[in-house]
Amino acid sequence: MDIKYKRILLKLSGESLMGEKQYGIDEKRLNEYAEQIKEIAGLGIEIGIVIGGGNIFRGLSGAAKGFDRVKGDQMGMLATVINSLALSSALDSLGQKAHVFTATNMFPIGEHYSKWKAIDAMKRGEIAIISGGTGNPYFTTDTGSALRGIEIEADVMLKGTRVDGIYTADPEKDKTAVKFDKISYDEIYTRGLKVMDLTATTLCKENRLPIIVFDMDTNGNLKKVLTGENIGTLVY
């Protein structure tokens, strides 16, 4: 089997973890994600993971309800830690070792992140789940995952989400939107596409980290992306 990438940074949407629920973590979805991750770990791929927190708390919506923005963002970052602990626990129960890192020191909840400790964990065959975003407010999990992807020298950032790629417009709102097989970083700016924030796109562009946006909610898709099947959208 031809594996396209040796080391990856997988970004999972917090919102997708809700599955059919309105809030929080859907155990079925969580376990499906863990199964898919275990499957590709079995191929010998080194895996770093960053999970969002939108299923629990988002700083911006908190600010709209009157929370201080910085505190709201800190709550959002803590939400990503909760999701990361849940994923590591689901992986553990499948017999797949995982190691949770946190952007700020929260020992013993996780180990304080450093590039080298994360790479060591991946080399030992553990999944490095890197939580807490960038540790700073006014950033997103997409930016955190671009940053960690570059730091750990990943070959690609895989953005697993609930749409199957990048479209000419938000496909959840515009049924006439057309999907791209690939798209340049610059075209994301010029077309004003909202699939990823511009800070994340810029970080990836400046550091030449390719991105693949794909539908993570269909079982088997993660493996398909890694074996070079033409699903999702490649950003180059």
Ligand X SMILES: O=c1ccn([C@@H]2O[C@H](COP(=O)(O)OP(=O)(O)O)[C@@H](O)[C@H]2O)c(=O)[nH]1
Ligand Y SMILES: Nc1ncnc2c1ncn2[C@@H]1O[C@H](COP(=O)(O)OP(=O)(O)O)[C@@H](O)[C@H]1O
The piece of 56-64, 171-179, 184-192, 228-236 that touches ligand X (CB under 6 A) is 56-64
> Tokens 């924030």 map to which residue?
197
Q: Which of residues 76-105 bind ligand X (CB under 6 A)?
A: 76-77, 79-80
Give the residue among 48, 52, 51, 50 at the shortest CA–CA distance from 8: 48
**Cβ 10 to ligand Y, closest distance in Å?**
12
Q: Which of ligand Y, ligand X, none has residue 148 at its interface (CB below 5 to 8 Å by kind)? A: none
What is the pairing mode between strands 233-235 and 211-215? antiparallel
The correct pick among 15, 32, 111, 153 for binding ligand X (CB under 6 A) is: 15
Cβ proximity of 177 and 171 under 8 Å: yes
Helix (H) / strand (E) element for 41: namely helix 27-41
CB atoms within 10 A of CB 206: 11
Distance of CA 54 to the CA centre of its chain: 12
The piece of 12-20, 92-100, 180-188, 210-218 that touches ligand X (CB under 6 A) is 12-20
The answer to the question of whether 134 is labelled as a binding residue is: yes
Residues that bind ligand Y (CB under 6 A): 13-15, 52, 54, 142, 161-163, 166-167, 169-172, 193-195
Structure tokens at 88: 């590591």
Q: Which of ligand Y, ligand X, none has residue 59 at its interface (CB below 5 to 8 Å by kind)? A: ligand X
Distance of CA 29 to the CA centre of its chain: 15
Planar angle of CA 20, 21, 27, nearest 5 degrees:
80
The correct pick among 84, 102, 134, 221 for binding ligand X (CB under 6 A) is: 134
Q: Which of ligand Y, ligand X, none has residue 126 at its interface (CB below 5 to 8 Å by kind)? A: none
The answer to the question of whether 124 is labelled as a binding residue is: no
**Cβ 163 to ligand X, closest distance in Å?**
13
Q: Which is nearer to ligand Y, 14 or 48 (CB)?
A: 14
Q: Examine residue 58 and tell whether it contacts ligand X (CB under 6 A).
A: yes
Q: State the Cα–Cα distance between residues 20 and 195, nearest whole angstrom.
A: 22
Give the residue among 79, 54, 76, 82 at the shortest CA–CA distance from 161: 54
Which residues are annotated binding-site positions? 11-14, 53-54, 58, 73, 134-141, 161, 167, 170
Which residues are annotated binding-site positions for UMP? 53, 73, 134-141
